[in-house]
Structure 1
Amino acid sequence: MTRRGVPQYERDGGYHAIKGFAFQFDASLLRLLENQAAEVEVEGTQDIGVQNFHIQVKNRNERYSLSKISKAVQQMMAQYAADRTAKFALYCHFADRAPGASLVLTPAELDQVLGTSSATYDDSTKESFTKAFEILFAPDYERQFSDVLRLLRTALRASSDSEALYYHALIHAHLRNVVLTHTQGERRVSFRDLRQLVSTARSAIFEAGYAEFRGYDDYLKLLRDQYKSSSVNVPNRRRLFIVEVGPGTHVDDLVDIASTLRQRYYIGESPAPFVSFRGVDDLVDLKTAMWRAGLWFDDGYPFRGSEFDPDHIVDTPGGGHGLKLVDFLEIESVIDTAAFHEVHDFYLSNPAPSPNTKGRSWHVSIERALDIQKIIA
């Protein structure tokens, strides 16, 4: 069984799909960082394209054999037959091949890989393809990820691994958006785009994939470093925290989370933090537990039996109690009323919709709500 109680055999397909995408994404990012003067095409006719050089990416934790690369080579051969000026590489990780090594196919090996389709191409085309194609053996996911972080620190002047991880999350979301919103042939990104992105971006998504391959404890440490590096004692910085709560979460855990947020962010002249627990349908038990614990709060209800008043929770008369508790069903009206500088969404399954705010937003994957204390405290 896994951490979340799902049998490993049920997760293997999704796990390897996520890992394969993450490996391909980092390979694309490496090409961007290593070719700063060129545009890089992602998910075009091949996985990666730099000028007229095309790359397919494969990550295999098994031994190398011709049969393992046949499909990729067949696709590249078909593209080469249509454009003999192009060059190709298969960037792949195999457990028995040293990173940095390369390999060129012999004509006989190419015939074996092409199989029945070999007769489709004349000998001249096949011979020239062997000179235009090479296999580049890559490091495993972990080592490649470390290389990416190192290059991000250098190229984008990240001050720490945690800041490099933040940039990695920004770029990951950006490249995914490029793939989803642009047609094949128009999915191009430059290093200049990355610099612009990290200097102006308002949101970042830290996905479960980071935790899968970095290890969850290391993932939490990187997040903790990122939050520690963020200035909290800033006057007039209004923050909203959205926390997704799973079934079976004890109400006292939510009290502890709310208390931690108040202690950390209600400092000096900073406004009281807003907190909304997504997945809690009835806040009565939580409010009762908070009052019994001496954790006072404002909730947008001026008097018993009143309707929710977003103006009242945003600008509480008398300054309030240093903590704003918001029903998630009322979150849109609060966002429309308050000018949040920061929105922090801690989610278990899917991120909350990005708020319509001019402030920055973070979407952070966690395994359980109480992990917030390991990040924030």
Structure 2
Amino acid sequence: MSTVLDGGYYAIKGFNFQYDHTIIRILEQTNELNEIEIEQTEDYSDENIIVQVKYKERANFSNSQVKKPLCQLLEIFKTDKRKPVLYAYFKNKEEQEVSLSLQDLNDIIGDCKIKNKQYSFEEELKTEFINQFRIIFTGKYQKQFEVLIEKIIKEFNCEEEEALIYYAQIYKYIEKKVVNNAPEDKHKRVCSKKEVKELITNSREVIFHSSYTQFLGKEKYYKFIYKRFFRETNINFHERIFLFELPENFEDTNLLIQLTRKIMERYYKKVTFGGSTIIKSPAPYIFFQNANDTVLKNMKTELLSEGIIFRDGFCFEGADFFLRNLLEESTPQNNIELKFINRYEYIKEIILQLQRTKKIYNLYLDKRIEQEGLDINHIKIEDFSDINEFLF
């Protein structure tokens, strides 16, 4: 039984090694539309090369170890003249790229018989083949994996923990390309760099949230979110806009008041130099999606009773929305500490009027806020109370 289990271990590791190398090849494409063929002609191929991948963790290199892949590549080369490559790891081979002489090739393939299959190759074909063929002896499994993670970090501008999660998603996506397309549909087993980037970009925070909370826990997830978005040792003069999605039928006014105070205390900053007071960081903008009018009124009433000065674009009872009121600059004289966006339809108009550097955060439960032309940081949360508990 142990032999069988060991065989399964090395077989799975070999598949992982192959798929990891395929992902590296995809990410290395300078033309993002170039499609890599997966498990079609060989382990992978593109418009220029056809590659067999072998990972022999326990084996030393010998002619018998590479006889079969070379015969297979030679057979393909009869009709497909793309450059043939054997990408392989053997424990006694240093990393290098080598070519073969005709004698080397003949020594390896010998009688050209693999089990019950007899191959036949003309000398002219073999001569043409060795002019194109290369063996690339590579590093161990872990080294290639580290190279791949570094490429993901660079491509998606993320940290290692996040890259590991993106890796899992890309790997599963590549694997499904093979599993979900039977041999008669193997032409569908293709993937481009553009496809991979869209996979991550379109569902980046959802992928990260679900994977991170599943494997590392909610608290670590929020610690990462705090570190990535909200841990600023020096609060600079930026316009900050917070877009929160509340649960349906939300009525916890006290929770909104606590959150609002925390945001104000953290991001509205005044400093005094030589007797003069300046605004170091202006009043943040806050929007509560799904908040009913009664909850908003009760919240603002409590803030006013505490002496907190804010703007919401309405100058008097019954007035229409007045953008200039909301955009009024925070100064030491007017002491405007908070700004509230009351309606979804005001968001884009307000943000586009802001001239300074903008930082926009959408902390959402189910449906994120999309506004064309706005660079919004979307942050998935499990429960609205988590915002107070973990982030502010």
TM-score band w.r.t. shorter chain: 0.5 to 0.7
CA offset digits 1:82-107 (Å, max 9, x no partner): 735255899xxxxxxxxxxxxxxx96
Indicate whether 1:346 and 2:363 are aligned: yes
Alignment of 1:248-287 (within 5 A): 248-249=249-250, 250-268=252-270, 269-280=280-291, 282-287=292-297
Match of 1:8 in 2: none
Partners of 1:344 and 1:361 within 8 A in 2: yes
- How far is 1:321 from its partner? 3.5
Letter in 2 for 1:288: N
Match of 1:39 in 2: 30
Match of 2:80 in 1: 83
- Supply the distance in 2 between the matched residues of 1:348 and 1:26 (Cα, whole angstroms): 33
Q: Counterpart of 1:239 in 2: which secondary structure?
A: strand
- Supply the distance in 2 between the matched residues of 1:81 and 1:247 (Cα, whole angstroms): 65
- Supply the distance in 1 between the matched residues of 2:32 and 2:373 (Cα, whole angstroms): 31
Alignment of 1:1-377 (within 5 A): 30-31=24-25, 39=30, 44-46=35-37, 52-53=48-49, 83-85=80-82, 161=160, 187=192, 206-215=204-213, 216-217=217-218, 218-230=220-232, 233-235=235-237, 237-249=238-250, 250-268=252-270, 269-280=280-291, 282-292=292-302, 294=306, 296-315=309-328, 319=334, 321-326=336-341, 327-339=343-355, 341-357=358-374, 360-374=375-389, 376-377=391-392
- How far is 1:210 from its partner? 0.9
CA offset digits 1:241-298 (Å, max 9, x no partner): 1111222543333333222221221123211110111233x23322313432535532
- How far is 1:347 from its partner? 2.1
Which segment is superposed worse, 367-376 or 326-335? 367-376
- How far is 1:148 from its partner? 5.5
Distance 1:330 1:376, change over 3 A: same
Letter in 2 for 1:286: L
Partners of 1:224 and 1:374 within 8 A in 2: no
Q: Which has the larger radius of gyration?
A: 2
Match of 2:276 in 1: none
Match of 1:115 in 2: none
Match of 1:118 in 2: none
Letter in 2 for 1:213: S
- Supply the distance in 2 between the matched residues of 1:298 and 1:151 (Cα, whole angstroms): 46
- Supply the distance in 2 between the matched residues of 1:245 and 1:55 (Cα, whole angstroms): 52
Partners of 2:243 and 2:286 within 8 A in 1: yes
- Residue identity over aligned pairs, in percent, reads 16
Q: Counterpart of 2:379 in 1: which secondary structure?
A: strand
Q: TM-score scaled by structure 2?
A: 0.51
Gaps of 5+ in 1: 1-23, 57-75, 91-105, 112-121, 173-183, 195-202
- Supply the distance in 2 between the matched residues of 1:139 and 1:354 (Cα, whole angstroms): 43
Partners of 1:241 and 1:345 within 8 A in 2: yes
- How far is 1:157 from its partner? 12
Distance 1:150 1:306, change over 3 A: same
- How far is 1:306 from its partner? 0.2
Distance 1:354 1:288, change over 3 A: same
Letter in 2 for 1:287: K
Q: TM-score scaled by structure 1?
A: 0.52
- How far is 1:304 from its partner? 0.8
Match of 1:19 in 2: none
Partners of 2:245 and 2:365 within 8 A in 1: yes
- How far is 1:369 from its partner? 2.6
Q: Counterpart of 2:371 in 1: which secondary structure?
A: coil
- How far is 1:332 from its partner? 2.6
- Supply the distance in 1 between the matched residues of 2:321 and 2:391 (Cα, whole angstroms): 29
